[in-house]
A and B are shown apart, each in its own frame.
Chain A
Amino acid sequence: MENKNSNASSRRNFIKKIASGSLITVSGLTIYSVSSCEKSTEGEKATLLTPDGKLVQVLKSEIESFEQLPASPKESRKGIPGKKFVMVVDLAKCKNARKCVKHCDKHHNLTPDRPYIKVLEMKDNEKSAPYWMPKKCFQCDNPPCVKVCPVGATFKRTDGIVLIDNERCIGCRFCMAACPYSARIFNWATPPNVDENLSYSPETSIPSKIGTVGKCDFCPDMIRKDKLPHCITACPNGVLYFGDEIDDTVTNGEETLRLSTLLREKAGYRYLEELGTKPRVYYLPPVDRLFPFNKENAKKGAS
């Protein structure tokens, strides 16, 4: 008898716990959405199943705003667990189409004079042929920018990505002086066409703020949605590969390759290895090129 009773009470307790648990979840949702979306109107409700198996009713507008919300500055510092992101750039395939630059600019609300990605015309010596080198932030494993930042506004995450928190940055520009790859840009004025309604996240880098530093961020907001960074999908020639060092795979959207094999077989290298910054972007040498070197491509791509 006693036994039964205690069983029943424990079951009741269990149900109580679940109920309170789900209540917290819902109230959490509500607080979150109210703070982010002021215009929510009373009205349609949706029935949802919580992760612990409870049915709850929530306002529809609130659900949407919760899902759209990018990672908070605090959350952005952690990184995606179990991942080590890398990029591979196949210089043999680049013809300076500049689609990566264009799409990156569009999604990060950048003006053409200050892009995150630059496609540089390179020539290693007098005898060798010129080639195009798409250059973004190298997300170094030994990042000079992170080392010099006085306030921890730029930081290295567990997944290898280096991000900037525009709400922390004091605009001293020491990181720009320290970066040997000139990967960083500064918001000298108020960025044009800022969407005031967007909530800022270091993962999206928008809306960027006046007097702070910006750079290529490997689009962690896209990665969180299981999508590839904008530049990867934008490239018409499959130059750019993105992937995970732990999985040992990289993809350019069309073909998926084993990272270690690719780097071994195509003699992958990192730019200015001797500086000891340990970049997470690899280059494949510009051999057996698909396109002749043509400066006109830049103009066509830009138009």
Chain B
Amino acid sequence: MKKSIPEKQLFNSIKERDLLGHIVKTSVRYKIWIAILLLFIVFGMYGYYRQIRYGLIVTAMRDYTSWGIYISNFVFFVAVSLVGSLFSSILKLNKNEWAKPLIRISEIIAVAAIICAAVIIIIDMGRPDRFIYVFKFGRIQSPIIWDVIIISTYLVISFILLYISLLPDIAICRDRLTAIPKWKKKLYKIAAINWSNQPEQVIILKKIGRILGITVLPVAFAIHTVTSWLFATTWRPGWDSTNLGPYFVSGAFMVGAAVIIFAMYFVRKYLNLKSYITTTHFDHMGKLLVLLSLVYFYFNINEYLGPAFKMVGVEGEHITELFVGKYAPMYWLVQIFGLVLPIVFLLFKNLRKPVPIVIISSFVILGAWFKRFLIVIPSLQHPYLPIQGVDESYLHYVPTWEEWAITMASFASLLLIITILIKLFPVIPIQELESPAEETSIESKKFKNEIS
């Protein structure tokens, strides 16, 4: 394989070398990382094979707790995917120049997360063999069909958003990269669809980017609002709430920002992009995370204060269970370590430095995952009618190894998709279409930095 690579790669500039270097050179660390991810995926596939063979009986779900970590994981992935719109729409339209190097990575994460969300929901189905019925017999009255429509729409838009921003860079890969295997050359050639930086091409591309940047915003809000309606359209305590839409959307933006911090830390470290993703980026992201967390905090108070004040029937039982009952340890850990403390810590400038902020972000991400567990599972365990005359196992929900294996595999798949996309394409946009003049000034500044 290595012998077939004809020549040593030469770069025109330092910037090109920095941003394209990792595409040419494959490190051992990268191979080990891919191997680990594949190991998790294979293990998860074995779990899924058992689920197909024996049915959902291999999970800990039963007649009362009829949705488990598959669904909470699905909600988590949908939440993470919202981050794409945060960067390529909200921050871009607001002309936040600092966020530009992070747009690509946020779009990659959005595409990867929404693919994983779609897969995990099929894994949750009792009859995945009948998946096609969703289209054959689909009823527009059902919130699930709304979700199918909006998720596929979002998937297409985020994919196009990622692709159009990549297009000029793919052309660069096609033109400049010589020391790469043939299949990669072919891939860039096909993917670049004859892009040649013509002014008329640039105008069209900019126009598409602007239109999609605006359209993706309502779709992104809709995708998580519709997901919240899967719950809000039922009579379950904890779900039967008009607050659920904004509560979900704000939570999604919070975890999305945390995921970006997490991703940019490792991309910066392993791709040596210290001069492109700077400490200023971490500082800005830290401030943004505080803002988004505060919004989520507000909706959290809204979600729990009303029911906790009134303590109506089963709703009261549900609240008691969360606040002081079986789920209290998880609930308070999530609320304090995943929400309140990150807000407090990130107010300090020193804690917005790369290392502390990535630790804080990982707490936010973990908290967000378990928060979705707390949204889905305890509600199902408090129906209007008492749970009687069933097996003891029906009253509790402790996920089985198959469920964990599949869930871990879904995370591994997410990371695998992100890793492969980062490996194939430059993670920081090389060619900026918006403002070429500014681009060169940044570049010259960097040169100066390196010289000094």
Using a CB–CB cutoff of 8 Å, the interface residues on chain A facing chain B are 113-115, 118-122, 135, 144, 147-153, 168-174, 176-178, 180-182, 184-190, 210-213, 272, 275
Contact = CB atoms under 8 A, between A and B. Distances in A.
Interface of B: 54-57, 59, 61-64, 66-67, 124-127, 130-131, 133-134, 136-139, 141-145, 148, 230-231, 233-236, 380, 383-391, 394
Given A114-B63, A149-B142, A151-B139, A182 B383 contact: yes
Contacts of A122: 386
B143 A169 contact: no
A113 to B, nearest CB: 5
A181 to B, nearest CB: 6
Nearest to A148: B142
B138 A150 contact: yes
Nearest to A181: B385
A98 to B, nearest CB: 9
B234 A144 contact: yes
Given A148-B144, A170-B131, A177-B67, 17 more contacts: A115-B389, A120-B385, A168-B133, A169-B127, A170-B127, A172-B125, A180-B234, A180-B236, A180-B384, A181-B385, A182-B64, A182-B384, A182-B385, A188-B57, A212-B126, A213-B126, A272-B384
* Most chain A CB within a 10 A radius of its CB, from B133, B231, B385: B385
Contact of B386 (A113, A120, A149, A180): A120
17 contacts: A113-B390, A120-B388, A144-B235, A149-B139, A150-B144, A151-B134, A169-B126, A169-B130, A170-B134, A172-B124, A172-B144, A177-B66, A180-B383, A186-B63, A188-B55, A189-B54, A189-B57
Contact of B125 (A114, A121, A171, A185): A171
B63 A121 contact: no
A127 to B, nearest CB: 17
Nearest to A302: B389
B142 A180 contact: no
B63 A185 contact: yes
Nearest to B62: A188
Top 6 A-B pairs ranked by shortest CB distance?
A171-B126, A211-B126, A189-B57, A150-B144, A180-B235, A188-B57
Contacts of A272: 384
B387 to A, nearest CB: 8
B139 A150 contact: yes
B137 A173 contact: no
A178 B233 contact: yes
Contacts of B390: 113-114
Contacts of B56: 171, 186, 188-189, 211
B137 A171 contact: no
B144 A177 contact: no
B137 A118 contact: no
A182 to B, nearest CB: 5
A122 B389 CA distance: 13
A95 B273 CA distance: 75
A184 B234 CA distance: 15
A115 B387 CA distance: 13
A294 B148 CA distance: 50
Contacts of B387: 182
A261 to B, nearest CB: 29
A212 B130 CA distance: 11
B63 A176 contact: yes
A171 B61 contact: no
Nearest to B135: A151
A171 B134 contact: no
B66 A173 contact: yes
Contact of A150 (B66, B134, B391): B134
A121 B127 CA distance: 34
Contacts of B143: 148, 174
Contacts of B127: 169-171, 211-212
B9 to A, nearest CB: 50
A153 B142 CA distance: 12
B109 to A, nearest CB: 27
Contacts of B67: 173, 177
A22 B54 CA distance: 49
Nearest to B380: A177
A168 B59 CA distance: 23
Nearest to B146: A150
A152 B133 CA distance: 10
B70 to A, nearest CB: 10
B164 to A, nearest CB: 33
A186 B66 contact: yes
Nearest to A188: B57
Given A120-B386, A186-B66, A113 B133 contact: no
